[in-house]
Chains A and B, each alone.
Chain A
Amino acid sequence: MTIKGKAYIAGIYEHPTRHAPDKSTAQLHAEVAKGAIEDAGLTKDDIDGYFCAGDAPGGLWPMVDYLGLNTKKLRHIDSTETGGCSYLIHLGHAAEAIAAGKCSVALVTLAGKPRTGPMPPRASGAEADFESAYGATTHNAYGMCAMRHMHDYGTTSEQLAWIKVAASHHAQYNPHAMLKEVVTVEDVLNSPMISDPLHRMDCCVVTDGGGAMIVTTPEIAKSLKKPLVRLIGHGEAAKGPRGGKDLDLTYSAGVWSGPRAFEEAGVTPKDIKYASIYDSFTITVLMQLEDLGFCKKGEGGKFVADGNLISGVGKLPFNTDGGGLCSNHPVNRGGMTKILEAVRQLRGEAHPKVQVKNCDLAIAHGTGGLLGVRHAASTCILERA
């Protein structure tokens, strides 16, 4: 069995806020849910599947109650929690549920306020006593990946900087982007070193906000007014140090999730017209592009340089909303916004300055957790139907 073509994304909504001290987290979930339902042209009572992750206050059942979902109708629930890529996995799981007849209109929500105040600490696993004292953070965990990638493959800070430069070229056209200023390679290299070799401009923004989507059957999607976008391939995977054997921080679980998604979709990286790639840090993008097969392992530095990721300039337009590096990184989780911009591109609703011509095939990919420690990855291949 395959989920290829079995589920369509019929509604999307990205909250325009980047700082919401005047709102509750549950309220933001409700606002993005309302936005996605209205974008689809449906009503709340049409929802019979609900997906959320660890950012939902109290978890899934308090959110079902708070949102007032129709519990006589709601027949599929899933609170898969894999950090930033949770929502990419939710999309895959929603497609599985729809293909199996377990639900027909699934709502997925993400929202939170890390810019207003600190997020609760990540739950630790069996490794806690053996690692918690060493102060692994997002910055230094990704820094360790970048350091080893540079050592093994000669990747440079200048090459990493090109990823931020490309994101900034796109963000200038997004009225909601937190950082709209176009930056240069020199700007990135001159920004303060945070955790070697990552500079401040190698890091994504911290924003309040959220996003939501409606995943539905082909029949329902075709009865609605929005351009048709369907999921044709999905992959998920996880990776960690696994007892410390053959440690290699230069690749991610994307080496497994990517091929699974491409195989199901029956397409290859060279067919992709637009790529949404999780950009918690510049190194995250570079490693994912290699892992997904857009270039060979170790050649990511050359691939991203000289504007190759800039829409209308390079070969692989990426994160045309400005991505997490410049626009939005709600709840420190990038998976949802990756899907939303891919859907905009496939609908032809991206900003005209960054809209990819004849964009009929896109990828949305992300990781969750810490790339340098333990993480999950998920890849979705989306097609304009």
Chain B
Amino acid sequence: MSEAKKYNAPVTNPETAPFWEAAKAGKFMIKRCTTCGEAHYFPRAICPFCFSDKTVWEESSGEATVYTYSLMRKSPTGPYAIAYVTLKEGPSLQTNIVDCDLETVKIGQKVKVVWKPTDGAPLPFFTPA
């Protein structure tokens, strides 16, 4: 089951290292552009909307809504639910819905971030709120 699943540590790079450092402290970070005001995920140095380099780190509430999902019925590590969730702050991101009855996942469901350990920084997943 998902608890037993092993995940590879993120490789990280200079552009995204602050995200993974914050993750170790349980903080889920997004980037926001101070020029156009838009938030984005995954984090970039340059805003993907207005191309300004004035982007800053911001802690997300970790609260989100399921945009869509698909329950993969079989895999070498068992069934899993891949999903896109939309953060309260705006950006949508790819994740898995975990630690719940996967048959109950549905579009519009409220979810919150939960961290899963690796040999490096933990990885963000989402679970019913």
**Cβ proximity bits A236-278 to B, threshold 8 Å, 1 near / 0 not:** 0000011111010100000000000000000000000000000
Query: Given that A134-B94, A147-B70, A195-B72 are known contacts, is A243 also in contact with B41, CB under 8 Å in the complex?
Result: yes
Interface residues of B in 40-57 (CB under 8 A from A): 40-42, 44, 47-49
A135 to B76, CA, bound (A): 11
Query: Residue A45 at the B interface, CB < 8 A?
Result: no
Query: Residue B18 at the A interface, CB < 8 A?
Result: no
Nearest Cβ on chain A to B87's Cβ, whole angstroms: 8
Closest to A148 in B: B68
Interface residues of A in 192-222 (CB under 8 A from B): 192-198
A144 touches B68 (CB 8 A): yes
Interface residues of A in 161-199 (CB under 8 A from B): 192-198
A193 touches B90 (CB 8 A): no
Query: Given that A133-B8, A144-B83, A148-B107 are known contacts, is A245 also in contact with B91, CB under 8 Å in the complex?
Result: yes
A73 to B113, CA, bound (A): 59
B41 touches A244 (CB 8 A): yes
Query: Given that A130-B42, A135-B96 are known contacts, is A247 also in contact with B67, CB under 8 Å in the complex?
Result: yes
**Cβ proximity bits B81-99 to A, threshold 8 Å, 1 near / 0 not:** 0111011001111111000
Number of A-B contacts (CB under 8 A): 113
Closest to A129 in B: B10
A140 touches B92 (CB 8 A): no
Query: Residue A151 at the B interface, CB < 8 A?
Result: yes
A136 to B72, CA, bound (A): 10
Query: Residue A132 at the B interface, CB < 8 A?
Result: yes
B44 touches A140 (CB 8 A): no
Give the bracket for the number of chain A residues in contact with chain B: 35 or more
B71 touches A243 (CB 8 A): no
Nearest Cβ on chain A to B103's Cβ, whole angstroms: 9
Interface residues of A in 126-159 (CB under 8 A from B): 126-137, 139-141, 143-148, 151
A136 to B82, CA, bound (A): 7
Q: What are the residues of chain B within 8 A of A243 when measuring CB–CB?
A: 38, 40-41, 44, 47-49, 91
Q: How many residues of B contact A (CB 8 A)?
A: 39
A129 touches B11 (CB 8 A): yes
A249 to B47, CA, bound (A): 22
Closest to A247 in B: B92
A131 to B96, CA, bound (A): 10
Nearest Cβ on chain A to B81's Cβ, whole angstroms: 9
A372 to B86, CA, bound (A): 15
Q: What are the residues of chain B within 8 A of A244 when measuring CB–CB?
A: 40-41, 86-87, 90-93
Query: Residue B104 at the A interface, CB < 8 A?
Result: no
**Cβ proximity bits B1-44 to A, threshold 8 Å, 1 near / 0 not:** 00000011011100010001000000000000000001011101
Nearest Cβ on chain A to B8's Cβ, whole angstroms: 7
- Give the residue of A128, A141, A145, A195 whose beta carbon is less than 8 angstroms from that of B71: A195
B94 touches A241 (CB 8 A): yes
Nearest Cβ on chain A to B43's Cβ, whole angstroms: 8
A residues at B contact (CB < 8 Å): 126-137, 139-141, 143-148, 151, 192-198, 241-245, 247, 249, 372-373
B residues at A contact (CB < 8 Å): 7-8, 10-12, 16, 20, 38, 40-42, 44, 47-49, 67-75, 80, 82-84, 86-87, 90-96, 107, 123
Q: A147-B70, A148-B68 are in contact. List 7 more A-B contacts (CB 8 A).
A: A128-B11, A129-B11, A129-B16, A136-B94, A141-B82, A243-B47, A244-B91
